[in-house]
A and B are shown apart, each in its own frame.
Chain A
Amino acid sequence: MEDLALYAVIAIALAFDFTNGFHDAANSIATVVATRVLTPRLAVIWAAVFNFIAFLVFKTHVASTIAKGVVEQDVLSVGVIFAGLIGAIVWNLVTYVLGLPSSSSHALVGGMVGAAVAKSGFAAVVSSGLSKIAVFIVLAPLTGLAVAFIFMVLVLRFAARFHNVDRLNRGFRRLQLASAGAYSLGHGGNDAQKTMGIILALLIATNKVAPDSDVPLWVVLSAHTAIALGTLSGGWRIVHTLGSRITKLQPAGGVSAESAAAATLFFVSAHGIPVSTTHTITGAIVGVGSIHRLSAVRWGVAGRVVWAWILTIPGAAVVAALSYAVLGRF
C-alpha cells in the first residue's frame, strides 16, 4: 500500500514537472519566434532538447537543497510531500486564475514547508535553507536585470561601430539560437531538479535510498524527460510571449535578456539554489527594456511579479497545511 502511494506521488511530481515545461516554454522561445528565426514548432523542439540535455551539464545540487535543505528529513513522509504538492498545484491554479505570475518553484517550497509545519510545527523547517531560497527569490531577478542591462549597453556600443545594419541583425538573429538554447539549458537545469528533489525526498522518506545518497539516474532522466515533454506539448500553443507582454524586444535585446537569464540560472544552479526561472527572465527583460527609458517597461506585469514574490511561499504553505490537516482525517 505504501509503495502504491509512493508511485502515485512520484507520478504527481512528474506531472507537476510536465506542466512546468508546458507553462514555461514560452519564456525560452519567445524571442526566436517573435523574430522568426525559427517556427514555433522548431523553437519548442530546440527548447525541449536543451531542457533534456541539461542533466549532462549540471550536478544535482538544487535537487539536494529541495530534498534535504527545506524541511527536516525526519519529518518527511509520503503524506507531507503529497500535501506539499497539492498546496503548490492549488496555489498555481489560483494564481493562474488571478493572473498573478507566481513561481511553481516557490509554490513547491511553500507547499513543503506548510505541510511539514502542519505535521510537526515550525521546528520542522530548515531555516538556513529556507532563508537562502527566500533571499534569492529577490536576488535572482535583480541579477538578471543588472546583467541584462550591462549586456545591452555592451551590445549597443558594439552595434554603434557597425554600418551594415542588415548584417548586424542577421548576426543577432543567429545568436538568438545560442542564447535561447542556453536559457533552456538553465531552465531545465534548475526546474527539473526541483522535481528530482521531491522524488529524492520521497525515496528517503520511504527508506528506498539512504539519506545521504545522490539522486538516482532514473530520477534524473525521468524529471528531464517530463519537463522536455511538457515543453514540446505546450510551448507551441503559448506563442503570445513574455517578451512582448513586458517590453517589445528586438533580436539584440532578446540575446541580451536570454544570455543574462542563462548566466544567472547557471550560477544559482551551481550553488544549489532553486529560483524562479520565469522571474529571472522577467528581470532580464526589464533590464533590456529600461536601457532607453523606464516607460518602455510595462510595470504592471513587473509589479505583479513583486506581489508573487511576497505571497507565493506563505500562500502555498497555507494551502498545503490545510491539505495535510484534511488528509490526516482519512
Chain B
Amino acid sequence: MDRRALFFLGAGALCAALIAETDADLRWVPTTLAVIYVVLALASYLDWRSSNR
C-alpha cells in the first residue's frame, strides 16, 4: 500500500472540497492544486509499484 499516494489523494480531495468555498476569482487555485495532487498521487503510486516489483 502506497501511503504517500493516499496522502496526496486526500490532499487533492481536500482542495477539491474547497473549490466551492473559494471566491470566484481565486477558484483556480484549489482547482489547480486538486489536479496537481491527483497527478502526484498517480506518479507516487506508479513509482511505488515499480519499486515493489
Seen from chain A, the residues whose Cβ lies within 8 Å of a Cβ on chain B are 128, 131-132, 134-135, 138-139, 142-143, 145-146, 149-150, 271, 290, 293-294
A139-B16 Cα distance, complex, nearest whole Å = 11
* CB atoms of B22 and A135 under 8 A apart: yes
A290 and B37 alpha carbons, distance in the complex (Å): 13
A127 and B50 alpha carbons, distance in the complex (Å): 48
Contacts of A290 in B (CB 8 A): 4, 7
Chain B residues whose C-beta falls within 8 Å of the C-beta of A293 in the assembled complex: 4
Inter-chain pairs besides A143-B33, A290-B7, 17 sampled, C-beta below 8 Å: A132-B22, A132-B26, A135-B18, A135-B22, A138-B14, A138-B18, A139-B15, A139-B22, A142-B37, A145-B11, A146-B11, A146-B33, A146-B36, A146-B37, A146-B40, A149-B40, A294-B3
Contact-residue size bin, chain B (C-beta under 8 Å from the other chain): 10 to 19
Secondary structure at the A interface, as helix, strand, loop or mixed, is helix
Distance in angstroms from B50 CB to nearest chain A CB is 15
Complexed CA–CA distance, A150 and B11 (Å): 15
- Return the contact of B15 from the options A128, A132, A142, A271 (Cβ within 8 A): A142
> Are A139 and B37 in contact (CB-based, < 8 A)?
no
Determine whether the beta carbon of B4 is less than 8 Å from that of A131: no
Those 10 A-B pairs whose CB atoms lie nearest each other, nearest first: A294-B4, A294-B3, A146-B36, A135-B22, A135-B21, A135-B18, A132-B23, A142-B11, A142-B33, A290-B4
* 8 Å CB interface, B5-49 against A: 7, 11, 14-15, 18, 21-23, 26, 29-30, 33, 36-37, 40
Q: Contact check: which of A131, A134, A139, A150 meets B29 at CB < 8 Å?
A: A139
Q: Looking at the complex, which one of A132, A139, A294 makes contact with B33 (CB distance below 8 Å)? A: A139
Q: List 16 contacting pairs A-B, 8 Å CB cutoff, sorted by A.
A: A131-B21, A132-B22, A132-B23, A135-B18, A139-B22, A145-B11, A146-B33, A146-B37, A146-B40, A149-B40, A150-B36, A290-B4, A293-B4, A294-B3, A294-B4, A294-B7
